């Protein structure tokens, strides 16, 4: 999900901090602000995994925004998902404005159990606060030897993406995820992308660092092509364009209908107020490949080997599949992750405002990890 912007400004320095320390402090902050312990742990774990996989845009620097959302009532800190339907191959959940990372975990785990029993499960989840990184749920499913197609739309926030040929935003980044497991120890295929030309948080990072976007990714508020990602944050704002022109637009449209309507949630047309907090609605199909064919595992591995044996372009790197670089990142970041000094200072200061002295200056406490 790409519709959250971290409050942390462009960092001037970064630190290497122990993963377990950041996990503990992140969960603690959420508990101090009204979350039950297990919900806080689920949200913190999701953010830590995003950091480890290399997606800092969905990591712990979202905490300031999340705590702001709690204070404003944009998210109900201790809300738990309700199972509306659990019949056969269908699981329907309502998140009741609770944290998406917790609601998503509960719902996906329920669907995993049904898929193991029945071969597949259709899952919907509506009215969740930020679900986080879609690939997180794909990894959960693949770890159980299952495959997944999942998609999510975003409501409650202004539109960000112009329809193909349009001069103003009418949609959001509507992410899509596909996961396929392997049983031989290699990483799963894990496809996770926004249907816009880039993710909003990527544009935010580019804007804060002064980088320019490639042609064909953005338009300004007048509908003119622009390379400046800052147009998305101007008043009035510009818009992202769909990736792949009409193809990305068509995929985003499908996701809006499937996730926004079939989940029992909303579409962006119904709910795009400018002062709210984003809500996600999810549609997913979780499949046990082995219940469809005895050769699913072997055929999947054979196809992956076939792709990996592709001759690379002259001077290029070896061909890989989606999920391989992220798995390497996670292994590399098993014990330590990198975060901005500005964020670490915010953590120490926020604990101090709650009457808790961590006992060290930001840099010292970080390096003590």
Residues of the chain with CATH 3.30.1370.60: 80-196+244-332
Q: What is the DSSP secondary-structure string of 273-319?
A: -SSS--EEEEEEEEE-GGGT-TTHHHHHHHHHHHHHTSPPPTT-PPP
At the second CATH level, the architecture of 201-241 is 2-Layer Sandwich (3.30)
The whole-number pLDDT of residue 274 equals 62
Q: What is the CATH number of domain 1-78+335-369?
A: 1.10.1530.10
Q: Is residue 125 within 8 Å of residue 258, measured between CB atoms?
A: no
Please tell me the predicted confidence (pLDDT) of residue 219: 97
Q: How far apart (Å, rounded) are the C-alpha atoms in residues 36 and 34?
A: 7
Q: What are 216-255's pLDDT values in tens digits?
A: 999 999 999 999 999 999 999 999 999 999 999 999 999 9
Average pLDDT for consecutive 10-residue bins of the chain (369 residues)?
A: 44 82 97 98 98 94 95 96 96 98 99 98 98 98 99 93 95 96 97 91 82 95 95 93 96 98 94 73 99 96 98 97 97 95 92 84 47
pLDDT at 129: 97
Question: What is the per-residue pLDDT for 198?
Answer: 87
Strand partners, 85: 92
Q: What is the sign of the dihedral through the CA atoms of 271, 275, 276 and 280?
A: positive
CA dihedral 98, 104, 109, 115 (to 10 degrees): 130
Tell me the fold of 80-196+244-332: Ribosomal Protein S8; Chain: A, domain 1 (3.30.1370)
* Matching residue, tokens 């082995």: 290
């Amino acid at each position: 999900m790409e519709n959250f912007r971290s409050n942390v400004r462009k960092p001037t320095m970064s630190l290497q901090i122990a993963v377990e320390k950041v996990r503990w402090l992140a969960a603690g902050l959420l508990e101090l602000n009204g979350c039950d312990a297990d919900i806080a742990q689920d949200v913190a774990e999701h953010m830590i995994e995003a950091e480890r996989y290399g997606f800092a845009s969905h990591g712990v620097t979202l905490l300031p925004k999340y705590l702001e959302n709690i204070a404003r009532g944009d998210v109900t800190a201790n809300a738990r998902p309700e199972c509306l339907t659990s019949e056969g191959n269908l699981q329907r959940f309502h998140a009741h404005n609770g944290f998406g990372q917790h609601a998503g975990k509960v719902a996906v785990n329920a669907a995993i159990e049904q898929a193991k029993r029945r071969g597949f499960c259709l899952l919907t989840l509506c009215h969740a606060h930020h679900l986080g990184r879609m690939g997180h749920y794909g990894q959960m499913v693949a770890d159980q030897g299952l495959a997944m197609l999942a998609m999510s739309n975003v409501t409650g926030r202004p539109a960000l993406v112009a329809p193909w040929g349009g001069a103003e935003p009418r949609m959001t980044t509507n992410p899509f995820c596909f996961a396929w497991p392997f049983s031989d120890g290699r990483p799963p295929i894990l496809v996770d992308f926004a249907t816009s030309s880039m993710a909003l948080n990527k544009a935010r990072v580019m804007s804060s660092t002064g980088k320019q976007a490639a042609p064909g990714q953005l338009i300004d508020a007048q509908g003119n092509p622009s390379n400046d990602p800052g147009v998305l944050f101007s008043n009035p704002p510009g818009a992202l364009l769909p990736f792949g022109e009409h193809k990305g637009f068509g995929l985003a449209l499908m996701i809006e209908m499937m996730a926004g309507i079939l989940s029992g949630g909303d579409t962006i047309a119904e709910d795009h107020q400018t002062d709210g907090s984003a809500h996600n609605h999810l549609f997913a199909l979780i499949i046990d490949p082995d219940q469809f064919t005895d050769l699913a595992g072997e055929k999947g591995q054979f196809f992956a080997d076939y792709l990996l044996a592709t001759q690379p372009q002259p001077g290029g790197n070896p061909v890989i599949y989606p999920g391989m670089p992220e798995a390497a990142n996670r292994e590399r970041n098993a014990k330590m992750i990198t975060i901005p000094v500005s964020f670490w200072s915010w953590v120490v200061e926020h604990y101090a405002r709650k009457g808790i002295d961590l006992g060290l200056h930001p840099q010292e406490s970080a390096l003590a990890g």
